Structure 1
Amino acid sequence: MGILANTVSICHFQVQGELPAKEELYSWTLNRLAGNRFNPIDQGSEELSVGWVHLDDPRSSEFDTPAACWRDHYLMFTLRRDRRAVPSAILKAHLDREYERWLGENPGYAKVPKQEKETLKEAVHATLLSQTLPTPSTYDAVWDTQTGMLTFSSLSPKVIELFEEEFKKTFEGLRLSAFHPYARAESVLDESNRALLAQANRSKSDNFLELIKENQWLGVDFMLWLMYQTMNDSSEYSINQQGILSDGERFVAYVDDRVVLLGAGENGAQKITVAGPQDHFNEVRSALLNRKQITEATLHLETSEDEHWKMTLKGELFHFASFKSPAVKLEKDSTTDEAMEREAVFFERMVLLEKGTQLFNSLFATFLKLRLGQGWGEHEGQINKWLNVCSNCNSPLV
């Protein structure tokens, strides 16, 4: 699903590097995208084509006007990848027929020579490719030039790697920095708490892979804390991050529906998935007592305006899978044309995505201030006491 859909899986990046002057930014972007635009392969036999298209019309790859990729302070574009592939079973069947034909024309051979096999395979593969329509895939990106934050609509490691490569090739001098849990933690804390975070940092370098690996405690402790809060608190919090929602505005956050835990087992890593509405999370608590750790959970966020966001939070990287926002609601009249409607949908969608992210960041900041403060030891003791009450998790807990 694309980024304009009500449900989409997203990850975040920070754009690093020096941008052109503001008055040159959009013309520079148009030129860069046009230079690496998508070229169709429908009429040919090429196996692969990768390039940029319009976010709201993946059939269009002409970046000749600002409207193609520019909405206020947002730059928006879509990575399109078309790929042809011949199923192995079909290729084998056609090759077997070609081998039989060749042997019939060359009765002196008992089997097809290796070099001839390679030649026939290339010819058959090329013929079948020309008869096969390419399969398109699209991945949306929205770049907030005010904050430097880029939102990308895929969580596939291979797709993310492809996007990073194409972005770097297109926008020379810029690079994408993964917005992993430690980077997000730095962004949501004030100066004094950032100093405490630096003290708690278990990585010995600024390499992002090491920052992720050595600071997995951020996701592990956050998930555990959120589970405890869901079962033992009002689950009500306050907005404490800048954004569309007002500072101090109340909201509700809780875990429900699905929790994934991971831990060591007799035969290696053991994964446990607990699905469905939960009353007491007895199975989860039992797994936690057996040294399992929560790696994914379905998180709900609700405001006083009855707006509801839902996501599957990936604990290691803080990716938002199946991030469902309130539906986009537009008031249209007879004067609204298609271009205006597309623009209105985009801005309304950005508002909803940014609200959901602001809610999550406020929740994460609330946890961090507790986790990095002097009161965490006492709170951790309460969590452990709550878990140990589950010594017989087959019995309902009150």
Structure 2
Amino acid sequence: MGLLSNTVSVSQFDVVGDLPEGDLAQWVGEKLAEHAFSSIENSAEELALGWVELDDFQSMEFSDPSSWWRDDYVAFTLRRDQRRLPSALVKGELQREQQRFLAENPTYQRVPKDKNDELKELVRNRLLVRVLPSPSLMDVVWNLRTGRLTFASVSTRAMDDLTDLFQKTFAGLRLVSVYPMQRARLVAPDALQDALAAENPSAEGSVMEQIRDNQWLGSEFLMWLLYGTTNARSDYQVTCDGPAAAGESFVAYLDNRFLLAGQGNEGAQKVTVVGPQDRFEEVRVALRQGKEIGEATIHMEKLEHQWRLTLKGELFQFGSFKCPTVRIEKGAELEDERLAVFYERMHVFEEGLQLFDSLFAAFLAERLGGQWGQRCQQINQWLEPQ
């Protein structure tokens, strides 16, 4: 599902580097066109990767700036076409070619390795021509004002494709994942920055090291929110920048889905708890057994508007992020109507992220503010069997 869908899974990156002087719209359009998608439908190639326009995955000219340039946003789509050959089909065709070779060369008891490799390549090329490529479309929205890029996928392969192609396209710029510690630095107030740095054992390490050594951010945040959900603490205030006004109240709680993980006698173990919870007894049992919350579904409500997302705690990716519904009026096909929907969609999407960041900031204020020991004691008492 794309970013204009009401539900989408997303990962976020910061764009690092200096933008060129001059006409940015022209520069962006030229760069996207240089690395635009090229079809492999009439060839035997297995994979194609490139940019297409957001509203039309068949269009890759980037000749009209209005197709990708929208005020502070640059919006386009990563298209990945790949042919996939069923292994059983390849195996059957290869066996036939091997039998034909042995029948034509009776002095051989089996096909030599070099010849076998040649037959494999022959079979794959012959079959690839007969198989249509399957397209994958992943939207990209780059906010030039904030430098934040949102990508409509949480797949590791897709994110690798994005970072590689983005850096080839826009030389001098690179993408850095908004990993948990980085998001914490961005939302924590200045007064807590030293305390946050003191909790980071890999302050000078690579991004991967900081992700590995700070998994406590995700697990403790979700534990804190779970305790608040079951002990009548659901009201929070907007404290981070975004469309909503500072100080506005909203409600946040956990429900519906949890993924817990831990080490057991037979190695890593995972427990999934799905459905509405009554005092979260299944989750509490897993926590008492030493497991930690790795993923959970967060609900947020402000006035009549509702958001829902599944937070993946290790990387702070947002799965199945559902925002208030944005609809195109029936029969509307005009460009201004599509633009209106785009801006409204970005508004509710960024407001949901603003609520999430404010919720995360509330956790950090308590976690780093000197009273965490007391809160941990309350959580441990609550975890005890009733």
Scaled by the length of structure 1, the TM-score of the pair is: 0.93
Query: For residues 279 and 115 of structure 1, what CA distance do their matches in structure 2 show?
Result: 64
Deviation at 1:325, TM superposition (A): 1.0
Matched, 1:34 2:30: no
Matched, 1:203 2:199: no
Query: For residues 99 and 229 of structure 1, what CA distance do their matches in structure 2 show?
Result: 66
- 1:110-136 deviation per Cα after TM superposition (whole angstroms, max 9, x unaligned): 443433333333222211111111111
1:105 is aligned to 104
1:311 is aligned to 309
Q: What percent identity do the matched residue pairs reach? A: 49
Among residues 307, 320, 338, which one is paired with 2:318 in the alignment? Answer: 320
1:353 is aligned to 349
Matched, 1:54 2:53: yes
Query: For residues 125 and 266 of structure 2, what CA distance do their matches in structure 1 show?
Result: 45
- 1:11-38 deviation per Cα after TM superposition (whole angstroms, max 9, x unaligned): 11111011113x4222111111111110
1:19 is aligned to 19
- 1:364-395 deviation per Cα after TM superposition (whole angstroms, max 9, x unaligned): 0111111110222222222222122x2x5xxx
Matched, 1:240 2:236: no
1:188 is aligned to 187
**Contact 2:288–2:383 under 8 Å retained in 1:** yes
Matched, 1:134 2:133: yes
Q: Secondary structure at the match of 1:260?
A: strand
Query: For residues 69 and 217 of structure 1, what CA distance do their matches in structure 2 show?
Result: 39
Query: For residues 157 and 186 of structure 1, what CA distance do their matches in structure 2 show?
Result: 24
**Contact 2:53–2:77 under 8 Å retained in 1:** yes
Deviation at 1:327, TM superposition (A): 1.0
Deviation at 1:204, TM superposition (A): 4.2
Q: Secondary structure at the match of 2:12?
A: strand
Q: Which runs of 5+ in 2 are unaligned?
A: none
1:386 is aligned to 382
Structure-to-structure mapping, 1:65-76, within 5 angstroms: 65-76=64-75
Query: For residues 119 and 83 of structure 2, what CA distance do their matches in structure 1 show?
Result: 19
AA matched with 1:328: V
Query: For residues 76 and 326 of structure 2, what CA distance do their matches in structure 1 show?
Result: 20
1:377 is aligned to 373
Matched, 1:365 2:361: yes
Query: For residues 37 and 359 of structure 2, what CA distance do their matches in structure 1 show?
Result: 40
Query: For residues 226 and 296 of structure 1, what CA distance do their matches in structure 2 show?
Result: 12
Deviation at 1:331, TM superposition (A): 5.0
Quote the RMSD (CA, aligned, Å): 1.6
Query: For residues 179 and 121 of structure 2, what CA distance do their matches in structure 1 show?
Result: 44
- 1:294-339 deviation per Cα after TM superposition (whole angstroms, max 9, x unaligned): 11101101111x1111111111111100111111035578xx5432
Query: For residues 90 and 329 of structure 2, what CA distance do their matches in structure 1 show?
Result: 53
Deviation at 1:49, TM superposition (A): 0.9
AA matched with 2:377: G
1:251 is aligned to 250
Query: For residues 387 and 358 of structure 1, what CA distance do their matches in structure 2 show?
Result: 31
Go from structure 1 to structure 2 and tell me whether the alpha carbon gap of 1:328 and 1:105 turns closer, same or farther (over 3 Å shift).
Answer: same
1:85 is aligned to 84
Q: Secondary structure at the match of 1:193?
A: helix
Structure-to-structure mapping, 1:140-179, within 5 angstroms: 140-179=139-178
Query: For residues 199 and 217 of structure 2, what CA distance do their matches in structure 1 show?
Result: 10
AA matched with 1:56: D
Query: For residues 210 and 372 of structure 2, what CA distance do their matches in structure 1 show?
Result: 22
Q: Secondary structure at the match of 1:116?
A: helix
Scaled by the length of structure 2, the TM-score of the pair is: 0.96
Go from structure 1 to structure 2 and tell me whether the alpha carbon gap of 1:121 and 1:290 turns closer, same or farther (over 3 Å shift).
Answer: closer
